[in-house]
Amino acid sequence: MERDIYLSLIKIMKKPLITKSVKKNATIFTVVLFIGYLIFNFFTVLQINYYFIDNVDTRLKHEVEHISVNIVFNEDTIVVLNGKEFEEFDMLHISDNSFFLQIYNIDKELLFQSKNLETFQNLPIRIIEFDDKFLFTNEKVDFKGLRVCYSKIINEGKLLGYIQLATPKTSVNSAIEGIISFNLLTLPLAFILFLIVSLIFAKRSLKPINKIIEIAEEITATNLSNRIDYEADTEDELGRLKATLNDLFNRLEFQINQISQFSDNASHQLMNPLTAIKTELEYILKKERSADEYKETLETIDEQTSEMINIVRTLLILAKDCAVCTDSSKVFSLTNLLQNEIMEEDKNNRVTISIPENIYLKGEADYFKMVLENLINNALKYSSEKSEVKVIVEEKTNSIIISVCDNGIGIPDNEKSKVFDRFYRGSNVESNGIKGHGLGLNLVKIVVNKMGGSITIIDNKPQGTIFTLEITRLILE
Ligand code: ADP
């Protein structure tokens, strides 16, 4: 118990607090938030500036309209009625709210000027073209930012002069400057805040993945039959990750079980001939034996060794899933293989072969020979000693049909698909005392499938079995 706690503590301590992924995500979040913050501030300043300027313009417009009332026309000339009207505080002194007023004709002759312009000189007199009633501009006079409003003086459609009214932008500028310096000051603070928020967010977003990793680690370390039971929506990434991992564990468990079953069965199959050899040797070595007895023992050992070689050879092919069986560049003559090589092995003349001339197949002849040997040997093995086994090859338009027919013990219907499983032996064979390892048909199926063919089993009439292979035909030009 204490050891478990100690191990979990070490495990926790070993884990970095901020992993590379968290750092990466947090950096991206921070940069995005920070850029967003800068853009937001920029537009806020623009908006505020616009709002202040709009206020100033309304003030200027209002004042210019008031001034216009005090102007009369004498044919082509402008007369300013009562200059005293313009002696308000804002036109006499210089302050942040002052108005600087100039009224002039199109020859740039000044007709009126507010008192404060005697001190604050240099406001330029301009003749400007514009269509609207008012024109607003920004000017800089003696390093002072001004908002200037121009209004045309028109009599009977004729332009006679301009009213020019300016006011300092000091209040607008200082407000904007205030906002900008506040923003600059809070920038580092905002950055730190964004960084912390991003770190927390990045860590939180990876939390479910960490949970799944923990469970997966536990599964691989302790029990492969456990599964990730983390609650997650099957549609989202976490749900799919969970499903994919569970699927992977299923396949792993299945494969591992298969491998262990395979090695169990393989050892078991090899154990029989090895035990037979051992028993034979123990018996013969007990005392001095005759030459005939020694010969007999050596023959038994030879027989058992051949059996073991056969088993190991088959197991080697099966373990690699017969990767070499599909060499499509190779071609062999089925007619030759059956009529010569297979026929030679038929010592008891029980096999009859019927095959047209010049039948060729694509693939490795050695492996296909093993297929035929397994089917023919089974047909011989599972039928009475004198009965005949027929191998019939027929041509179809695109394929070759090979049938191996016997009159033997047959295969029960419910076992016809199972006999291809590795190490499977029929329920009726043990009672008949027929020896075998349950590997032959598995090899047959793998090789035939690799060659793109198929295999089926049907009952022979009145008794026995017919194995039928259908393989794509190779037509040589
Ligand atoms: P083995 O013959 O060594 O047992 P196989 O893989 O060649 O292994 O065959 C698997 C099983 O299929 C056999 O145990 C047997 O039950 C059945 N079988 C195969 N061929 C025949 C056949 N021609 N007639 C009857 N049963 C057969």
Round to whole Å and give the CA distance between 172 and 48.
9
pLDDT over 90 for what percent of the chain? 47
pLDDT in tens, 434-476: 888 899 999 999 999 989 999 999 999 999 999 999 998 877 6
My answer on whether 287 and 330 are in the same domain is no
* Close Cβ partners of 33 (under 8 Å, ≥ 6 residues apart): 194, 197, 198
My answer on whether 353 and 314 are in the same domain is no
Count CB-CB contacts under 10 A for residue 15. 9
My answer on whether 399 and 267 are in the same domain is no
* Close Cβ partners of 463 (under 8 Å, ≥ 6 residues apart): 407, 408, 410
Hey, what are 141's tokens?
């006079």
Asked whether residue 225 is domain-assigned, the answer is no
Which pLDDT band, with edges at 50, 70 and 90, does 232 fall under?
A: confident
* CA 426 to ligand 1: nearest atom: 16
Ligand 1 centroid to Cα of residue 394, in Å, is 24
Lowest mean pLDDT among 203-217, 285-299, 335-349: 203-217
Please tell me the residue having the least CA distance from ligand 1 atom 23. Answer: 379
Ligand 1 centroid to Cα of residue 197, in Å, is 70
Range 276-305 average pLDDT: 94
My answer on whether 201 and 271 are in the same domain is no
Which of 107, 140, 142, 143 shows the shortest CA–CA distance to 125? Answer: 107
Round to whole Å and give the CA distance between 308 and 300.
12
More confident position, 16 or 471: 471
Which pLDDT band, with edges at 50, 70 and 90, does 231 fall under?
A: confident
Round to whole Å and give the CA distance between 265 and 421.
12
* CA 404 to ligand 1: nearest atom: 23
Range 222-232 average pLDDT: 79
Mean pLDDT, rounded, of the chain: 88
Which pLDDT band, with edges at 50, 70 and 90, does 259 fall under?
A: confident
Q: Which of 388, 429, 443, 465 to mutate to test the pocket of ligand 1 (most atoms within 8 A of CB)?
A: 429
Count CB-CB contacts under 10 A for residue 291. 7
pLDDT score recorded for residue 7:
58
More confident position, 327 or 398: 398
Asked whether residue 230 is domain-assigned, the answer is no
Please tell me the residue having the least CA distance from ligand 1 atom 2. Answer: 436
Asked whether residue 168 is domain-assigned, the answer is yes
pLDDT score recorded for residue 12:
54
Ligand 1 centroid to Cα of residue 369, in Å, is 17
Last residue of a domain, one of 164, 185, 216: 216
Residue 98 CA, chain-centre distance (Å), reads 68
Ligand 1 centroid to Cα of residue 457, in Å, is 11
Range 124-131 average pLDDT: 89
* CA 410 to ligand 1: nearest atom: 25
Which pLDDT band, with edges at 50, 70 and 90, does 295 fall under?
A: very high
Q: Which of 308, 314, 378 to mutate to test the pocket of ligand 1 (most atoms within 8 A of CB)?
A: 378
Exposure string of 242-264, with b = 16+ CB inside 10 Å and e = fewer, is beebbeebeeebeeeeeeeeeee
Sort strands 399-405 and 360-362 into parallel, antiparallel or unpaired.
unpaired
Cα 53-54-58 angle, rounded to 5 deg: 115
pLDDT score recorded for residue 1:
52
- Evaluate if residue 206 carries a pLDDT over 90: no
Q: Is 18 helix (H, G, I), strand (E, B) or coil?
A: coil
CB contact at 8 A, 359 and 335: yes
My answer on whether 396 and 280 are in the same domain is no
Asked whether residue 221 is domain-assigned, the answer is no
* CA 383 to ligand 1: nearest atom: 24
CB contact at 8 A, 87 and 188: no
Ligand 1 centroid to Cα of residue 424, in Å, is 8
Range 101-118 average pLDDT: 89
Ligand 1 centroid to Cα of residue 391, in Å, is 17
Ligand 1 centroid to Cα of residue 310, in Å, is 16
- Evaluate if residue 271 carries a pLDDT over 70: yes
Q: Is 136 helix (H, G, I), strand (E, B) or coil?
A: strand
- Evaluate if residue 6 carries a pLDDT over 70: no
Please name every residue paired with 25 in a beta bridge, in sequence order, or none if there are none: none
My answer on whether 133 and 19 are in the same domain is yes
Which pLDDT band, with edges at 50, 70 and 90, does 219 fall under?
A: confident
Round to whole Å and give the CA distance between 114 and 99.
8
More confident position, 353 or 431: 353
Ligand 1 centroid to Cα of residue 319, in Å, is 20
Ligand 1 centroid to Cα of residue 299, in Å, is 26
Ligand 1 centroid to Cα of residue 458, in Å, is 13
Instruction: Please tell me what DSSP assigns to residue 474.
Output: B
- Evaluate if residue 196 carries a pLDDT over 80: yes
pLDDT score recorded for residue 151:
94
Round to whole Å and give the CA distance between 227 and 244.
11
pLDDT score recorded for residue 269:
82
pLDDT over 70 for what percent of the chain? 93
* Enclosing domain of residue 329: 322-472
Ligand 1 centroid to Cα of residue 425, in Å, is 6
pLDDT score recorded for residue 374:
95
- CATH number for the domain that contains residue 418: 3.30.565.10
Model confidence, pTM: 0.55
Asked whether residue 280 is domain-assigned, the answer is yes
My answer on whether 335 and 310 are in the same domain is no
Please tell me the residue having the least CA distance from ligand 1 atom 17. Answer: 426
Please tell me the residue having the least CA distance from ligand 1 atom 12. Answer: 419
* CA 374 to ligand 1: nearest atom: 7
Asked whether residue 248 is domain-assigned, the answer is yes
* CA 437 to ligand 1: nearest atom: 3
Asked whether residue 224 is domain-assigned, the answer is no
Q: Which of 269, 404, 439, 441 to mutate to test the pocket of ligand 1 (most atoms within 8 A of CB)?
A: 441
Please tell me the residue having the least CA distance from ligand 1 atom 20. Answer: 378
My answer on whether 107 and 182 are in the same domain is yes
Ligand 1 centroid to Cα of residue 432, in Å, is 12
More confident position, 120 or 418: 418
Q: Is 235 helix (H, G, I), strand (E, B) or coil?
A: coil
pLDDT in tens, 387-424: 999 999 999 988 999 999 999 999 999 999 999 998 89
Q: What is the DSSP string of 278-329?
A: HHHHHHHHSS---HHHHHHHHHHHHHHHHHHHHHHHHHHHHHTTTGGGG-TT
- CATH number for the domain that contains residue 265: 1.10.287.130
My answer on whether 422 and 457 are in the same domain is yes
My answer on whether 414 and 308 are in the same domain is no
Range 251-275 average pLDDT: 85
pLDDT in tens, 145-165: 899 999 999 888 888 899 999
Hey, what are 58's tokens?
């309304």
Please tell me the residue having the least CA distance from ligand 1 atom 8. Answer: 438
- Evaluate if residue 280 carries a pLDDT over 90: yes
Q: How many domains does the chain have?
A: 3
Ligand 1 centroid to Cα of residue 381, in Å, is 9
My answer on whether 29 and 103 are in the same domain is yes
Lowest mean pLDDT among 126-130, 137-141, 230-234, 250-254: 230-234
Q: Which of 272, 315, 411 to mutate to test the pocket of ligand 1 (most atoms within 8 A of CB)?
A: 411
pLDDT score recorded for residue 477:
64
Hey, what are 392's tokens?
């019939």
Last residue of a domain, one of 266, 299, 318: 318
My answer on whether 329 and 294 are in the same domain is no
Last residue of a domain, one of 153, 181, 216: 216
pLDDT in tens, 33-86: 999 999 999 999 899 889 989 999 999 999 999 888 888 877 667 777 776 777
Q: What is the DSSP string of 171-208?
A: HHHHHHHHHHHHHHHHHHHHHHHHHHHHHHHHHHHHHH
Ligand 1 centroid to Cα of residue 36, in Å, is 75
Asked whether residue 227 is domain-assigned, the answer is no
Pocket of ligand 1 (CB under 6 A): 374, 378-379, 382, 406, 408-411, 419, 424-426, 429, 436-442, 465
Round to whole Å and give the CA distance between 52 and 151.
21
- Evaluate if residue 13 carries a pLDDT over 60: no
